[in-house]
Amino acid sequence: MQELSLKYGCNPNQKPSRIFMTEGELPIRVLNGKPGYINFLDAFNAWQLVRELKEATGWCAAASFKHVSPAGAALGYPLTQTDKAMYFVEAEGALSPIACAYARARGADRLCSYGDWAALSDICDADTAHLLAVEVSDGVIAPGYTEEALNILKTKRKGNYNVVEIDPDYVPKPLEQRDVFGITFEQGHNDLKITREMLSNIVTENKNLPDKAALDMVVALITLKYTQSNSVCYVKNGQTIGVGAGQQSRIHCTRLAGNKADNWFLRQHPKVLGLQFVEGIRRPDRDNAIDIYISDEYEDILADGVWQQSFKSKPEPLTPAEKKNWIAQNRGVTVGSDAFFPFGDNVERARKSGVEFIAQPGGSIRDDHVIATANKYNMVMSFTGIRLFHH
């Protein structure tokens, strides 16, 4: 198949719409549903991300994409009991590695993952299909599906869930093109390989980079490679915990991603894990209730006549002091940036979310100030020398 017609483009008025190959066959098969233009943009970006994560780390990987940027990406580390509780994984016993990867990718930022497109580096199995089946999701791309997994996915969304299989051996042409305003742009495909060797230029006084942190740096940088710029990514234990995408100012990226990382950590607070929800509450409503409860607008969800819609009993507030004290306990976080930090304020903000390791290109005229700020907090910072803009 060289061409696949789509319902419409980014918006319903943008017709006709299709994906096609000028030479050869499309490297995908639609096994169920009818994906759209934005679906395929998410699918192809997400697939590249998880494929590269597996190649670079040896771990299977998953991503949860929304609007051409990852809401979350993760390696298939086993889930802890806390992970299962905060990600609402109800399965008993151990899950397969690829299912763990998706649970962690989806759970990184459940609010932003609502209606996501999932990508899997490995064959989708029944464990992963069961996780996808209960989430609000638009579709999934993977190199294959077990028969049981495919049968499960075909029951989702009244049989219309989008399931795409991609040829894992497909290699794109070295030059890529796209039209903007009727004008054709051309550039080399970004085939940069991100490896541990990129992290060798450690510019801080503290040069102790543990293997675990180095792996988190690789996860951050590969995630940034497929995140709309400007972008900053916080990572812990092989998964993103906060992605700030498409901001005009880098400090705003750092704050946005840091706030998401703080929310990820707050969802592990005993008060949050102990929330008692009403029977039959929908998963998105539960996610929204938690998001408001841990926010500065918590009084909105705890108001009389409102809390009863979500909770069996009125929860005690999670006070600003409790939140601040809890977030201060977070440690061992890595942050990556797709371009240099121009000022030390980015380091200052990252520190507040538990960051101890930084990977960024370097090259600012204020590198000395950024390095001094990192040294003040005994951080480890690597200059990669590589920019990772993506548009």
Composition of the chain by helix, strand, coil, percent to 5 = 35, 20, 40
CA distance 148 to 366: 56
Question: What is the DSSP track for 307-327?
Answer: GGGTBSSPPPP--HHHHHHHH
How many angstroms separate the CA atoms of 375 and 353, rounded?
17
Edge-to-edge strand ranges of the sheet holding 61-66: 28-32, 162-166, 137-142, 116-120, 61-66, 69-75, 239-245, 231-236, 333-337, 355-360, 380-383
Report DSSP state, residue 161.
Answer: -
Residue 269 in tokens:
């607070």
Cα-based angle 86, 88, 91 (whole degrees, multiple of 5): 125
Token pair, residue 193, equals: 């390989």
Which residue out of 66, 130, 236, 323 is catalytically annotated?
Answer: 66
Backbone angles phi, psi at 281, to 5 degrees: -65, 140
Assess whether 66 carries a catalytic annotation: yes
Specify the residue for token string 């101890």.
356
Task: Identify the active-site residue in 32, 45, 162, 230.
Answer: 230
Active site residue 189: no
Whether 13 is catalytic is no
67 catalytic residue (yes or no): yes
Q: Is the dihedral of CA 4, 5, 10, 16 positive or negative?
A: positive
| Alpha-carbon distances of 322 from 223, 275, 329, 348, rounded to whole Å | 31, 16, 11, 21
Active site residues: 66-67, 230, 391
